[in-house]
Amino acid sequence: MARSSKSASPWLWLTLLLIVGGFVAFILFLDRGIVERARMEPAQQSAPETQATRGKPVFDFYRVLPDRKVEIPRVEVIPSQPPKPGQKTQSGSQGRSRYILQAGSFSARADAERRKANLALLGMEARIVSADVGGRSYYRVEIGPFASDGDFSRAERRLIENDIGFIRKAYSAR
C-alpha cells in the first residue's frame, strides 16, 4: 500500500541530468562567444579608424613626442659671498637659507586673526602681515623664521597633521 521511497524515481534523475547538462552547454556557449570576441578585438584595436569612430583619443607617443620641444629658461645663479672679516652674521645661518611658513592669506582680517588663534592653540607663534595686491588688502599669517631645521620640520609636520595648508617662503629681514 504505502510505497517505500528508498530510491528516487528515474524521471527525477533524468530531469536533474537534463538541467545540469543544459546549464553546462549554456556556459560553454557563452565562453565560446567571449573567446571569439576577444580574438576579434586586437584586430580592431590596431585599426585607428575603429578607435576614432568609438570616440576614444588616439595617441601615438613615438610619433608625437619627438616633435615636442620644451624651452627651459636660463636662470642665473649668483653665488653667495662669504662674510667679510668683522661682519656680524647670525649664528647657524651661514651658507643656509632661512624660511618662514605662510599658513594662510585672507581678505578679511578677522579670518587671519582666527587662523592665528588656531595656531596659538597648537603652540605655534604666528604674526599677521598685511599686503596690497592689485589694490586689495590681504592678511597673511606667517610662522617663523625658525632657529633650526628641526624646528622648521616640526612646524611643517604639525600643520600637516592638523590639515592646515601652508607654503614655504624664503626669509628676508624686514
Interval 26-78: pLDDT, tens: 998 888 878 777 777 665 555 555 544 556 666 666 666 666 776 666 666 55
Residue 121: predicted pLDDT: 93
CATH of 99-170, one of 3.30.70.1070, 3.30.1360.200, 3.20.20.140, 3.50.50.60: 3.30.70.1070
Residue 91: predicted pLDDT: 47
- Domain-by-domain residue ranges, the chain? 11-54, 99-170
Say yes or no to pLDDT of 99 above 50: yes
DSSP 8-state symbol, 107: S
Q: How far apart are CA 42 and CA 110, in angstroms?
A: 62
Q: How far is CA 128 from the centre of its chain?
A: 30
Rg (CA), the chain: 37
Residue 65: predicted pLDDT: 66
User: Which comes out higher in pLDDT, residue 105 or 84?
Assistant: 105
Q: How far apart are CA 65 and CA 76, in angstroms?
A: 29
Task: Give yes or no for a contact between 106 and 114, defined as CB atoms under 8 angstroms apart.
Answer: no
Does the bond joining 145 to the residue before it have cis omega, within 30 degrees of 0?
Answer: yes
- Residue 159 — very low, low, confident or very high, per pLDDT cuts 50/70/90? very high
Residue 92: predicted pLDDT: 46
